[in-house]
Structure 1
Amino acid sequence: MKLPGAGSAIIIGLGIASPALGGSKIPIPIPRPDYDPGTMVVATPDKAASLTESKRTVLRGAPLTLADAVFLGLRNNRSIKSAYIDRIAQKFDLRVAEDRFTPQFSVQGEVARQRIGDVKSTTLGVAPGVTFLTPTGATFDFAWNNSATWNEGGRTASSAAEINVEQPLLRGAGVEVNMAPVQQARLRESINRLRLRATVSETIGSIIFAHRDLLLTQEELKLADDAVVRAEDLLGINQALIISGRMAEMDAVQTEADLETQKLRVLQARQSVETARLALLNLLGLDLSTRIVARETISLKTVDTRVDNLIRVALTERQDYQGQLYVIEQSRLGIVVAKNEQLWDISLFARGRFGGEFASGSPTRNVTEIMGGLRFNFPINDLAKQQQLVQADTGYRGAELQLADIRAGIEMQIRGSVSEVDLLWQQLTVADRSRELAARAIEIEKVKLNAGRSTTFQVRSLEDSLRSAENQLLAARIGYLNALTRLDLQLGTTLDTWQISLKE
């Protein structure tokens, strides 16, 4: 889905790379020259024009397009930064899980000075070793134990290699069971990546809505200014009619009251602009004193809203749906492990010790010890093992039900958004025509007023209708674009629309 201003490819990671042109999956309106909110500029209070002098409110500030806002948000937004900080720990968790079958080296040692009665002795011991687990479940332990003791009676020393091997035959045996923790960690990492994509997508959506809110308030201020100009123009006509003796002076009082009401609406619109500006700056992570003006040339056109195609895209791209598929696979592996835990614990083992021992005044004695056998443990009524299997099974079935619930929710959202988009498109046509007719009606009524065939009351009534039509058209335009943005978020294609690649 191609959003207005979404013409740049952005690479986001722990840093942001430069833009490049890219395409999109679902069409979105392109800018239309005849509707340009960007013609407005924000003004500092000391240079603001006086409405009493029939001048428009001038807003000054740095122009900010939608693409600029998205780029700044990706670079500065605190939610995105926090998500990337979390990714540091998440990636390390995966590294730890994948280190499961890596040999673990260690060195143990001890130096001790001992006194028993009048006998003093010194003991030194060093034992480097390695332990590792194989995917079949076999464990290997190797240690090279070296020790020496000095006392008044002489010195003794020993050096021997010890090897222990154990291979489970039932519980804990098999590649699938032993690889399950690693596979679950990899699935969890995939879920974390999807969550990062969802966080970035939702943040982009929030920035787009905030930018359009600012654009909307700026346009509402412009319409309020237009209403003031028209009210002043009508007041001028009334004064001319009074001077010519064709209108009583008291008949212009209501027109003056309407003018003051429109000036009040201008002040309210300016406050709305300020509120929207602060909300956008907060999302962008910028200084709240920064003066900005939302600028965007907007064009509206109909889009392809075939529901079946959109649902198919959503099921492929939605982070929550894809993440739930990974959760189901994690639950399946949990059942595999739980079933394996129900088996008897039977293992083959072997142990060997090879080395020598030395004592002062005695020859070195070679040491060779070898032992092997079968070890078993048969639980009789261990309900904890059965509990693990029951929990794993219920977790799996619950995950499948949740997937169905997510799918139903996606379809409901897509169908609702499609209906909203179609209805708003129809409203746009009606609102545009209504605005044109309302403006034309005022022109005709003013001609009739000058000719003495109408009244000020009728002109004011038509002015109210025009203001309502203008606001409805503006709301319909922004609402239509926001509906397309919501649809883009619900499809899970926001990052594709803006050509954003997440790099870690």
Structure 2
Amino acid sequence: MTLEDAVFLGLRNNRTIRSAYIDRVSQKFGLRVAEDRFNPQLGISGNVSRQRIAGFETNTIEVSPGASLLTKTGATLDFAWNTTANWQDAANGFSSAAQIGIEQPLLRGAGVEVNLAPVQSARLGELVNKLRLKATVSETIAIIILAHRALLTAQQHLQLAQASLDRSENLLSINNALIAAGRMAPMEAVQTQADIESQRLTVLQTRQTLEADRLALLDLLALDLGTKIVAVEAIDPQKANTNVAKLLPIALSERQDYLGQVYVIEQNRLGITVAKNEQLWDISLYANARFGNRYSEGAGSDRVADVVAGLKFTIPINDLNRQQQLVDASTDYRNAELQLETIRSGIEMQIRGTASQVDLLWQQLTVAEKSRDLSLQAVTIEKAKLNAGRSTTFQVRSLESNLRDSENQLLNARIGYMNALTQLDLQLGTTLVTWHIDLKD
């Protein structure tokens, strides 16, 4: 399984990513509800009843289809068509009338900015939710990459341990040949045999680590835990550009947490606008009208034409709850700005720290390559000297141990450098760009 295969399967199967997309269904519907604020709301109400009072029985049916509309200026329009039919022992009655009402706030609740604030806040919230989805996917991809490399590292450690075991067994063969030729005492081969058993134990322990890393990767990919997989990736990293002056602007333009906090600040600004409006007097113009017909058995029918218009007001004198709303909104806004500064400082600290780590790991990688090459040359030369009778088994074993250490250090340095680049990519917020992933939402 290549690294690309692991990332692809993670995008399709990982449970965290799938859960994030499930949450998006509810989030998008919430935006739809907010944007429905200025659309007409339709409904039908009714009542069917039968009652008996003082020996008189009455049957009543009421049906009232209606609609209400909120405009961007804050005005509310209500319309209903009320139809009522009565059946009584003494007389029957019927009425049908249209009822229209309108109310326009003049201060509190008035104005396009105030009434659009909930919709704009919901749209900003939707942008934040999209950024959170990107952050979740980016973080999960980074976790999958690190898990894939952990399995790859375990595989490489197993190969190195097996190669070291093979070299020790070859050394034991040389020792046995020298003992048979009378050029070495039998006791000198005992330590070589002990080293072989120790390295066999290392091989077994490495296989155990490999199995644990395999299960961890399969769990992240939501695959059958019995699947036999082998991690494949070229371990040949290239030196990366770690100029902080160039990296920091990229992070500030791509980091999901930073951009999301910018939107949160805008939401809080809208909250202050609404809270300030809540401090105003509640003064509204209103008008109600009712037109229709009314019929009563015995009294005949007549027309209904009622109109009412006026001005109503509510003036708070010492309502601290409204003032509390403004205080809370202002506090949230100031805290959001401070949080943005904290996030920016944290981003810069992360970028500088990881960039410095990448540079140091590259230097370690260069030193580890030289150390491995020199250790390999030293073992080759010492074995040739042993065959010529000019060295000892102890010296070869010592150099073999150095070679094992240098090979493991080189592997760890390479994987550590590649993991640091993955971490830097995540901190820059460019993981999806690096992997050419365009989220479908």
Interval of TM-score (by shorter of Structure 1 and Structure 2):
over 0.9
Matched with 2:37 is 100
2:300 aligns to what SS in structure 1?
coil
CA distance in 2, matches of 1:248, 1:157: 124
C-alpha RMSD of the superposition? 0.9
CA distance in 1, matches of 2:247, 2:105: 51
Task: Tell me if 1:159 matches 2:96.
Answer: yes
> Matches of residues 45-64 of structure 1 in structure 2 within 5 Å?
64=1
The aligned amino acid for 1:494 is T
**Counterpart amino acid of residue 309 in structure 1:** K
Q: SS at the partner of 1:502? A: coil
Give the superposition deviation at 1:119.
1.4
Q: Which residue does the alignment assign to 1:325?
A: 262
How far the C-alpha of 1:101 sits from its partner, in A, is 0.6
Q: State the AA in 1 paired with 2:192.
A: T
Shift in Å at residue 113 of structure 1? Answer: 1.3
Q: Name the aligned partner's letter for residue 151 of structure 1.
A: Q
* SS in structure 2 of the partner of residue 73 of structure 1: helix
The amino acid that maps onto 1:281 is L
2:409 to 462, 465, 472: 472
Look up the match of 1:405.
342
From 157, 165, 177, the equivalent of 1:240 is 177
Amino acid at match of 1:360: E
| Offset at residue 328 of structure 1 (A) | 0.3
Report the equivalent of 1:74.
11
Deviation string 1:433-473 (CA, Å, 9 cap, x unpaired) is: 10000000011111222222211111111111100100000
Letter in 2 for 1:294: A
Q: Secondary structure at the match of 1:305?
A: coil
Per-residue CA deviation, residues 265-308 of structure 1 (Å, 9 max, x unaligned), is 11011111101100000000001000000112232211221111
1:384 equivalenced with 2:321 (yes/no): yes
* Amino acid in the other structure paired with 1:97: A
Relative contact order, higher structure (CA 8 A, sep 6+): 1
What is the alpha-carbon distance in structure 2 between the residues aligned to residue 383 and residue 320 of structure 1? Answer: 35
Aligned counterpart in structure 2 of residue 500 of structure 1, from 430, 437, 440: 437
Point out the structure with the larger helix share.
2
Question: Is residue 210 from structure 1 mapped to residue 156 from structure 2 by the alignment?
Answer: no
Choose which of 355, 358, 370 in structure 2 pairs with 1:433.
370
Which 4+ stretches in 1 moved above 3 angstroms? Answer: none
Say yes or no: does 1:449 pair with 2:386.
yes
Deviation at 1:239, TM superposition (A): 1.0
- One-letter identity of the residue aligned with 1:89: S
Output the CA distance in 2 between the equivalents of 1:464 and 1:365: 111
Contact kept, 8 Å, 2:82 with 2:98, in 1: the verdict is yes
Q: TM-score, normalised by structure 1?
A: 0.87
Structure 1 counterpart of 2:47: 110
User: For residues 117 and 171 of structure 1, what CA distance do their matches in structure 2 show?
Assistant: 49
Q: Which runs of 5+ in 1 are unaligned?
A: 1-63
**Distance (whole Å) between structure 2 residues aligned to residue 492 and residue 303 of structure 1:** 16
Q: Which amino acid aligns with 2:389?
A: G
- Matches of residues 358-369 of structure 1 in structure 2 within 5 Å? 358-369=295-306
Equivalent position SS for 1:160: strand
Q: TM-score of the superposition, structure 2-length normalised?
A: 0.99
Quote the residue 2:228 is aligned against: 291
Equivalent position of 1:483 in the other structure: 420
Q: Structure 2, unaligned stretches of length 5 or more? A: none
2:351 matched to which residue of 1?
Answer: 414
Give the SS at the match of 1:321: helix
Q: Does 1:171 align with 2:108?
A: yes
Whole-angstrom distance in 2 between the partners of 1:262 and 1:424:
28
| Alignment-derived partner of residue 11 in structure 1 | none
What is the percent sequence identity of the aligned residues? 65
Q: Equivalents in 2 of 1:123, 1:446: separation in Å?
A: 110
Match of 2:80 among 119, 135, 143: 143
3-state SS of paired residue (2:289): strand
Mapped to 1, the partners of 2:389 and 2:44 lie a distance apart of 107
